[in-house]
Amino acid sequence: MTTTTTIATPRVTCPSWCCVTEAEHRADLDNWEGRCHHHSRETAFGWSIVSTTTPDGQLWPEPGEDAVQIFDGLDVISLGCAQARAETILKLIYRARRA
């Protein structure tokens, strides 16, 4: 008598900005201890977003890291630093338009 066990393939829930396919996430689950690493497309400025979640979308950051990170090229910058940079750029645009 043969018993067959079927293991359900988890459905992966991604943030709206994630550009990784569900198939790629499922293939990587064993490599990332059951977690999903979500990546956004890189912007023209070299910035991108990365987060780590459980397959159902619950944030599960690496120890000592923020749950959602902004990358400037290969460097991680805090969300506060990214916001400060964006606000500075907006102020410069406002000043330039008033000139």
| pLDDT given for residue 3 in this prediction | 64
Would you list the domain boundaries of the chain? Answer: 22-98
Q: Would you place residue 62 in the very low, low, confident or very high pLDDT band (cuts 50, 70, 90)? A: confident
Q: Would you place residue 6 in the very low, low, confident or very high pLDDT band (cuts 50, 70, 90)? A: low
What pTM was estimated for this model as a whole?
0.72
Mean pLDDT, residues 63-86? 88
DSSP string, 17-53: T--S-HHHHHHHTTTTTT-EEEEPPP-TTSEEEEEEE
Report which of 6, 10, 8 is spatially closest to residue 56, judged by C-alpha positions.
10
